[in-house]
Each structure stands twice: as C-alpha cells, then as structure tokens.
C-alpha cells in the first residue's frame, strides 16, 4: 500500500491502519510506503500488524542532494530507525540510472550495509524516464550487466537478506 505523502497526517493513518488490519485478517503480509514517520505513527502501524515498511534511500549520501530537495537523507534514516524500533521489518533500496555514477551506486549499498541492521528487502530499481519529472540523466544509463553486478554486490554485502535483494517485487518469507 502506498501513498504520495511526504509524511502522513495522523487522521490519514486511521484508514491505513484499518487497511493493514483487513489485509492481515485474510492472512496476507502487509507492506506500506507512506513517507517519513514520527515514533508515534510507526508504533500505530506496528500495532495494526504492519509487517514491512518501504522507505528507500534512493542513492548515495554524496549524490542525494542532486536529486532530492524535499527532505534530507537523515530524515529517511530516522524513519527507518523508528520503524525498526517498533518491530517492523524494513524494505529499503534505491534507484539507479538517475544520473549517478558507479561510486554512487556502491555508496548507496555501503550506506545500507552499515545500518545497525540490514534491510530485510533491498529493491534496486532502474529509473524509467517520466515526462514532467525533472531528473536530468547526465551519466550513461546502466546496462543489464551493470545492474546484475550491483545486485550481486548487494547480495554479498548484505548476505543474510540475499533472498530479496534486487527482486522487482520482493516476496517476504
């Protein structure tokens, strides 16, 4: 379940928590991406039965400000910490092909690998140009071999979570 919020309002969380509970009642796992969370919001989602929280770091710390100006990387890290503290699993990866260089791709993986706990799921997405989205792709688009190398590197760096690293739609076991 996803919403295009910078961060949810508490009143919006009521509906999301109801949806999480409904999905859990039919025996399915739940994953939401709602933006940045307060500690209280993370706890509400956990109490509703949330299994996974999706919140990408998108790129390396060095390249982050080149593509994102609406929030700081630390805001994302803080949300991941809050979610983890209430017992919700983390789905966190990034996007390649947005003008970054190989060092930025590796920097993103280093950031994830150095979190106190690795994300349980590490999606690596390939940017597809969207009209109206102001991403200036200045570097060469990653070829399929570069993508496979990045996934392999992520699997080595975060070996205990390798079952879900790089899959387009992670399957949580």
pLDDT digits over 71-114, tens only? Answer: 899 999 999 999 999 999 999 999 999 889 999 999 999 999 99
Model confidence at 162: pLDDT above 70? no
Give the pLDDT confidence score for residue 131 in this predicted structure.
80
pLDDT digits over 48-63, tens only? Answer: 999 999 999 999 999 9
**Does any domain span residue 5?**
no
Residues 19/50, Cβ–Cβ less than 8 Å: no
Give the integer Cα–Cα distance in Å for 77 and 72.
9
Model confidence at 173: pLDDT above 50? no
**Does any domain span residue 171?**
no
* Among candidate residues 120, 41, 123, the one with its CA nearest the CA of residue 83: 41
Residues 122/166, Cβ–Cβ less than 8 Å: yes
Using a 10 angstrom Cβ sphere, with 0-12 exposed, 13-18 middle and 19 or more buried, the burial of residue 32 is buried
Considering its fold, how many domains does the chain have in total? 1
Q: Kindly report the CATH number assigned to the domain that includes residue 27.
A: 3.20.20.70
Of residues 70 and 31, more confidently modeled:
31
**Does any domain span residue 4?**
no
Domain that holds residue 99: 10-164
**Does any domain span residue 169?**
no
Residues 6+ apart with CB under 8 A from 61: 73, 107, 111
**Does any domain span residue 89?**
yes
**Does any domain span residue 118?**
yes
Over residues 119-144, the mean pLDDT reads 82
Over residues 144-169, the mean pLDDT reads 76
**Does any domain span residue 159?**
yes
């Amino acid at each position: 379940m996803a919403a295009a919020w910078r961060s949810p309002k508490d009143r919006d969380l009521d509906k999301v928590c109801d949806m999480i509970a409904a999905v859990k009642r039919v025996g399915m796992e739940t994953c939401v991406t709602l933006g940045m969370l307060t500690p209280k919001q993370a706890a509400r989602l956990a109490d509703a039965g949330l299994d996974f929280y999706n919140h990408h770091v998108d790129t390396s710390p060095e390249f982050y400000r080149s593509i994102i100006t609406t929030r700081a990387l630390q805001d994302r890290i803080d949300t991941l910490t809050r979610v983890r503290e209430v017992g919700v699993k983390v789905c966190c990866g990034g996007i390649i092909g947005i003008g970054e260089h190989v060092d930025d791709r590796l920097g993103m993986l280093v950031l994830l690998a150095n979190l106190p706990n690795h994300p349980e799921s590490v999606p690596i997405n390939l940017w597809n140009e969207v009209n109206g989205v102001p991403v200036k792709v200045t570097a060469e688009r990653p070829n399929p071999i570069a993508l496979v190398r990045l996934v392999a590197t992520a699997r080595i760096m975060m070996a205990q979570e390798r079952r879900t690293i790089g899959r387009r739609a992670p399957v949580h076991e």
